[in-house]
Structure 1
């Protein structure tokens, strides 16, 4: 990661960083000004705009994968690949082999194939088109450093939404053991947990959900005073019946205040099993769609696009419990 991208990531994470004796926000702003010849104004921007585009692309490329990995570390695996590269994710078959009794001195057994699978993620272009009035460029009032941060957050939020959509859409392919719908019953949840742990060769399972979803399975427990204090502090209990509960980060659907993650869904899977695969292909591209004078309203328009894909390994071991 370049110094510029690391700086942008520190600013996003709210770290109190200093670079060249100025704050992180000022340092990022200074980098953009320097790309414009030292002073940001319309004439300098017009002459050096492709250097500014390079900064936007560089920061987006280097920080997006880190942000997604940090937010979805328990759920998603992120691969950054070159254009045209098609990563293949291999899914090991966890099922046990049948052991048969055989007569001494013979080897007459039916063979059992190792059913490992391959999994690929298709990628598509995703982008955002932004614009500003010429007057703002002339006055030097276009907040480029803020815009870079907002673009990264926007792409990250969109990816997060697509992760949840992919998981929700995979429910229809689950069998009755791995896909349960109905009023919440603790026995049904622990039946699913036991199935998941057995299929995973004894690995511990975890339950993931939003704060409201985890609260639903925590509030009826008989609690000690320390558990009540914890419940009051975070809204749910971190462990139920020996199984860890893990909070899924919530997200808004783009352009709305509607939550992307259902509060009526629990995801059960082996600990550290990343069933979601994210592929980020190639580099970001920032394209000037319209310069001043190309439109009657003198607006300046730009397209930022990136090639990405999200997939859920339906052959992996996991379960979804939907509350009706």
Structure 2
């Protein structure tokens, strides 16, 4: 049963989505700040925070849970199915068998046929605990200059970025399990790509789509004889949304945290049945905020905290999909 969203979570969600809300005659951002101020007794200062910090932690944990939920759902909606479960719960994903039954000739006078079982598989995704460590100077706390709402958004985006790394790593690693029909490496050849499209469609019984970064999708259009309207569309968004009757979907590019290295492989095209989410993400339990260093624990008087969240990522190995790795 899905947990009911609290007023604070609904407010945090509206603030994140840029909804112009008015709560108790103040803006959404101010309402979150007021909730934290109320939690420490009405005045935010270091002594009050020290005495009531676990109430503040509870507010930030609630806000992080709902913000992270909407971030990962929005960013990976085309590629991944995200499920939230309570701590200790396990959820299994059902994978339907799309293969066709063999049709056999029946000899006259009997009805003997080899029986063929309907095969559907289930698998679970194991979760691990991950953490983000943050710190702030004591003077900033005393001055009340901590933008908690912005900090939670940054933490949620950091978790989502890390989760994105895990999702794309899982897809890339699954390439080795694909046979030569569904796992192709080499210089780009549109015939080879659309052979893969047809194989995915024939085996899944669904229309296939092609996914990739903007640079990867541009490769699909190179060498095509484009009409003026197609050239105009290509100029506007950087790729065509449909090529040879097949829809193209953009995978957003990002940097690996702390580097200028791209997160998503620009030389990889993924072919999947439409609306098929081959990656399964399980987010387990509620966020947890821990104090790892008080102001007096360090010579620089930095205050250090860790926000933890449990999640797991899995790719359906038996799903019908293809990966084209472009080498030139």
Q: Does 1:70 align with 2:74?
A: yes
Partner SS, residue 217 of structure 1: helix
After superposition, residues 10-21 of structure 1 pair within 5 angstroms as 10-21=14-25
What is the CA–CA distance in structure 1 between the aligned matches of 2:280 and 2:136, rounded to whole Å?
A: 36
Verify the 8 A CA contact 2:12 2:66 in the aligned structure 1.
no
Match of 1:298 among 292, 295, 301: 301
Q: Distance in 2 between matches of 1:283 and 1:218?
A: 45
Could you say what secondary structure the match of 2:285 adopts? strand
Question: Match of 1:91?
Answer: 95
Q: Contact 1:161/1:251 (CA < 8 Å) preserved in 2?
A: no
SS class of match (2:297): coil
In 2: Cα distance, 1:257 partner to 1:27 partner: 36
Paired residue secondary structure (1:315): coil
Correspondence for 2:31: 27
- How far did 1:180 drift? 0.4
* Alpha-carbon distance between aligned partners in 2 of 1:162 and 1:219, rounded to the nearest angstrom: 30
The aligned length equals 323
- The alignment partner of 1:80 has SS state of strand
Q: Find out whether 1:36 has 2:40 as its counterpart.
A: yes
Q: Deviations over 1:144-188 (max 9, x none)?
A: 222111111111111112111111111111110110011111100
Q: Please give the TM-score of this superposition, normalised by the length of structure 2.
A: 0.94
Aligned positions of 1:306-317 closer than 5 A: 306-317=309-320
**Could you report, residue by residue, the CA deviation over 1:184-239 in whole angstroms, capped at 9, with x for unpaired residues?**
111001000000000012x1000000011111112432222221111110001100
The answer as to whether partners of 2:16 and 2:67 remain within 8 angstroms in 1 is no
2:224 to 221, 225, 228: 221
Q: Normalization by structure 1: what TM-score?
A: 0.95
CA RMSD of aligned residues (A): 1.5
Unaligned runs of 5+ in 2: none
Structure 1 Cα separation of the partners of residues 32 and 232 of structure 2: 42
Whole-angstrom CA distance in 1 between matches of 2:17 and 2:261: 24
Stretches of structure 1 that go unaligned for 5 or more consecutive residues are: none
- In the alignment, the residues of structure 2 paired with residue 21 and residue 220 of structure 1 have an alpha-carbon distance, to the nearest angstrom, of 59
After TM superposition, give the deviation of residue 41 of structure 1 in Å. Answer: 1.3
Instruction: Report which stretch shifted further, 54-63 or 259-268.
Output: 54-63
Q: Provide, for residues 252-290 of structure 1, a one-character-per-residue CA deviation record: whole Å limited to 9, x for no partner.
A: 212222111011000000000010000011111101112
Deviation for aligned residue 1:307: 0.7
In the alignment, the residues of structure 1 paired with residue 134 and residue 199 of structure 2 have an alpha-carbon distance, to the nearest angstrom, of 49
Separation in 2, partners of 1:9, 1:2: 11
Residue from 191, 195, 201 that aligns with 1:191:
195
Q: Deviations over 1:38-66 (max 9, x none)?
A: 32211121122111101111011122222
| Residue in 2 that maps onto 1:275 | 278
Residue 67 of structure 1: how far off its partner (Å)? 1.8
Out of 43, 50, 58, the residue aligned to residue 62 of structure 2 is 58
Q: Which of 211, 230, 242 is residue 208 of structure 1 equivalent to?
A: 211
- SS of the residue corresponding to residue 15 of structure 2 reads helix
Q: Does 1:289 align with 2:263?
A: no
